[in-house]
C-alpha cells in the first residue's frame, strides 16, 4: 500500500490532535496543577471513591451481560436469519440513534414505581429507578449494540463452512463454538467489549435520569465529576476526569497492543 498524500496526513493529524489530543492533555494538566500533595488528597475524596466503587459494580454486571448477549445476538442474526432476526438487526441500533437522556426518560417511565414494568417489580420489593439496578439497566441499554456490531460483519465474512465441517466431524454446538467460532471472533469480541466498557464508564445522560444522582449512593464517576463542577469544586472534577480519562487511555492502549499482535500473527501466517 502506498502512502497517502502529505496534505491528507497533515489534515488528519491536525483534526485528531486538536479534537482529542490537546483537550486530553489539558485535563491531565489541570489535575496536576496544584502539585502531587493536593492530587493525592483529592484522589482520597470519599464521594469520588464511592462513585468509582459504584461504577465498578455497574461494569461487573453490565459488561458480562452485554458481552454474552452481544455474541449470542450476532450468532443468531448471522447464522439463523429469519424475519425476526431482520427486525432485531434493525432495532439493535436504536440505543446508538437515540440520545442517552431520552433513553433515561424511557426507562424511568417504564420502570418507575408507578410505571408499567416498575409497579409489579415494586410489588416484589425491587426498586429499579433511583437505585443500582436502574443504573445497570441504563448502561446495558446504551452499550447494547457495540459487541454485536463488531461481530456481524466478521461472522458473515468467515461463513459457516468451518462450523459445518466441525459438525460433520462429530462436534456438538458447544464444542463448535469453543474450538472454532470463538477462536475466530476473539479479538473482534475483545474490541467490542472494550468499546462497551468505555461506553459504560463514560455514560452520563441516561444514568443521570435513572439514578437520581444521589451523592455516595447512586452517583457514578461521571455524575460525580459533573456534580463537582456544578458545586464550584472544579479541581476535584478535573481529578475525577483525569482518573476516567486515564482508564480509557489504558483500555485503548491495551486494545491497540492486542490488535497489533493479532494482525502480526495473521501476516506471519499469510
Residue 263 beta carbon to other proteins: minimum distance, rounded to whole angstroms: 13
Give 5 or 170: the residue with its C-beta nearer to other proteins.
170
Return the C-alpha cell found at 229: 463542577
Give 175 or 263: the residue with its C-beta nearer to other proteins.
175
Distances (CA, A) of 114 to 6, 105, 119, 121, 214: 60, 14, 5, 10, 20
Return the C-alpha cell found at 196: 462497551
User: Taking a C-beta distance cutoff of 8 angstroms, is the pair 206, 142 a contact?
Assistant: yes
Return the C-alpha cell found at 159: 461463513
Give 30 or 259: the residue with its C-beta nearer to other proteins.
259
> Where does this chain bind other proteins (CB under 8 A)?
159, 161-162, 164-172, 175, 179-180, 183-184, 266, 269-270
**How far apart are the C-alpha atoms of 177 and 75, rounded to whole Å?**
10
Give 10 or 179: the residue with its C-beta nearer to other proteins.
179
Residue 168 beta carbon to other proteins: minimum distance, rounded to whole angstroms: 4
Q: Which residue has the cell 487511555?
A: 249
Residue 80 beta carbon to other proteins: minimum distance, rounded to whole angstroms: 12
Residue 265 beta carbon to other proteins: minimum distance, rounded to whole angstroms: 10
Strands (E), 130-216: none
Alpha helices by DSSP H, listed for 80-181, are 83-91, 94-97, 100-111, 118-123, 132-142, 145-158, 161-168, 173-176
Give 27 or 171: the residue with its C-beta nearer to other proteins.
171
**How far apart are the C-alpha atoms of 100 and 106, rounded to whole Å?**
10
Give 9 or 175: the residue with its C-beta nearer to other proteins.
175
Radius of gyration for the chain, computed over Cα atoms and rounded to the nearest angstrom: 22
Give 189 or 224: the residue with its C-beta nearer to other proteins.
189
Residue 71 beta carbon to other proteins: minimum distance, rounded to whole angstroms: 17
Residue 165 beta carbon to other proteins: minimum distance, rounded to whole angstroms: 4
Return left, alpha or beta for 165; rule: phi > 0 is left, psi -120 to 50 is alpha, else beta. Answer: alpha
**How far apart are the C-alpha atoms of 97 and 240, rounded to whole Å?**
28
Give 6 or 268: the residue with its C-beta nearer to other proteins.
268
**How far apart are the C-alpha atoms of 121 and 115, rounded to whole Å?**
10
Residue 74 beta carbon to other proteins: minimum distance, rounded to whole angstroms: 18
Residue 258 beta carbon to other proteins: minimum distance, rounded to whole angstroms: 16
**How far apart are the C-alpha atoms of 74 and 155, rounded to whole Å?**
8
**How far apart are the C-alpha atoms of 190 and 221, rounded to whole Å?**
24
Amino acid at each position: 500500500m502506498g502512502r497517502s498524500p502529505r496534505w491528507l496526513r497533515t489534515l488528519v493529524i491536525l483534526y485528531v490532535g486538536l479534537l482529542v489530543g490537546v483537550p486530553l492533555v489539558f485535563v491531565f494538566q489541570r489535575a496536576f496543577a496544584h502539585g502531587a500533595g493536593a492530587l493525592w488528597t483529592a484522589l482520597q475524596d470519599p464521594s469520588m471513591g464511592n462513585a468509582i466503587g459504584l461504577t465498578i459494580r455497574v461494569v461487573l454486571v453490565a459488561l458480562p451481560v452485554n458481552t454474552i448477549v452481544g455474541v449470542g445476538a450476532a450468532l443468531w442474526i448471522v447464522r439463523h436469519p429469519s424475519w425476526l432476526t431482520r427486525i432485531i438487526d434493525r432495532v439493535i441500533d436504536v440505543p446508538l440513534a437515540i440520545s442517552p437522556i431520552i433513553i433515561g426518560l424511557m426507562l424511568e417511565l417504564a420502570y418507575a414505581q408507578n410505571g408499567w414494568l416498575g409497579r409489579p417489580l415494586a410489588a416484589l420489593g425491587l426498586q429499579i429507578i433511583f437505585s443500582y439496578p436502574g443504573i445497570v439497566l441504563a448502561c446495558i441499554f446504551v452499550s447494547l449494540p457495540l459487541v454485536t456490531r463488531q461481530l456481524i460483519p466478521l461472522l458473515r465474512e468467515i461463513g459457516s463452512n468451518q462450523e459445518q465441517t466441525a459438525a460433520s466431524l462429530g462436534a456438538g454446538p458447544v464444542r463448535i463454538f469453543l474450538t472454532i467460532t470463538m477462536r475466530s471472533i476473539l479479538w473482534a469480541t475483545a474490541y467490542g467489549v472494550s468499546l462497551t466498557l468505555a461506553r459504560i464508564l463514560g455514560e452520563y445522560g441516561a444514568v443521570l435520569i435513572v439514578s437520581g444522582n444521589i451523592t455516595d449512593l447512586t452517583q457514578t464517576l461521571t455524575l460525580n465529576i459533573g456534580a463537582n463542577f456544578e458545586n464550584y469544586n472544579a479541581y476535584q472534577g478535573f481529578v475525577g476526569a483525569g482518573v476516567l480519562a486515564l482508564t480509557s487511555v489504558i483500555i485503548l492502549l491495551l486494545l491497540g497492543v492486542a490488535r497489533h499482535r493479532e494482525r502480526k500473527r495473521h501476516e506471519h501466517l499469510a
